[in-house]
Amino acid sequence: MEIKKYLALLLAGTLLFSMAIVVSASENSGYGSWSGNSTSDSSYEGSSSEGNSSAEAGVSVATASAAQEAGKSVGEYNNNAVTGTPGLTNAIPVAQGGGVIIDGTKTNQSFTVSKAALAQVNSAKTQAAALNGTVLNVVYISGSVSFSTANVNYYMPGITGTENIQVYQLSGGQWTPVTVTEVRADHVIVDMTSYGVLAFIQVP
Same domain, 130 and 59: no
Q: Which of 181, 155, 134 is nearest to 83 (CA)?
A: 155
Cα dihedral 123, 129, 132, 136 sign: positive
Same domain, 104 and 129: yes
Mean residue pLDDT across the chain: 79
Same domain, 119 and 170: yes
Q: Is residue 127 part of a domain?
A: yes
Same domain, 44 and 66: yes
Give the pLDDT of residue 169: 98
Residue 6 has pLDDT above 50, yes or no: no
* Higher-pLDDT residue of 62, 116: 116
Residue 184 has pLDDT above 90, yes or no: yes
Percent of the chain whose pLDDT exceeds 90: 66
Q: Is residue 97 part of a domain?
A: yes
Give the pLDDT of residue 132: 98
Q: Which domain holds residue 68?
A: 40-78
pLDDT single digits (tens) 51-100? 334 443 677 898 899 989 888 999 999 999 999 999 999 999 999 999 99
The residues, ordered by sequence, that sit 6+ positions from 28 with a Cβ below 8 Å of its Cβ are none
Same domain, 91 and 177: yes
Q: Residue 131 region, left (φ>0) first, then alpha (ψ -120 to 50), else beta? A: alpha
Rg (CA), the chain: 29
Give the pLDDT of residue 156: 98
* Higher-pLDDT residue of 15, 70: 70
pLDDT single digits (tens) 20-37? 433 333 333 332 222 222
Q: Is residue 173 part of a domain?
A: yes
* Higher-pLDDT residue of 185, 50: 185
Q: Is residue 143 part of a domain?
A: yes
pLDDT single digits (tens) 131-144? 999 999 999 999 99
Same domain, 162 and 68: no
Cα–Cα distances in angstroms (integers) from residue 191 to residues 3, 4, 68, 104, 182, in the given order: 100, 99, 30, 11, 10
Same domain, 154 and 137: yes
Same domain, 110 and 171: yes
Same domain, 129 and 154: yes
Give the pLDDT of residue 59: 79
Give the pLDDT of residue 71: 87
DSSP states of the chain: -HHHHHHHHHHHHHHHHHHHHHHHHHHHTTTTT--S-STTHHHHHHHHHTTTHHHHHT--HHHHHHHHHTT--HHHHHTTEE---TT-SSPPPEEE-S--EETTEE-S--PEEEEPPHHHHHHHHHHHHHTT-EEEEEEEEE-SS--S-EEEEEE-TT--S-S-EEEEEEETTEEEEEEEEEEETTEEEEEESS-EEEEEEE--
Q: Is residue 2 part of a domain?
A: yes
Instruction: Please state the pTM of the whole predicted model.
Output: 0.71
Q: Is residue 35 part of a domain?
A: no
Give the pLDDT of residue 57: 60
Give the pLDDT of residue 158: 96
Q: Is residue 34 part of a domain?
A: no
Q: Is residue 181 part of a domain?
A: yes
Give the pLDDT of residue 70: 87
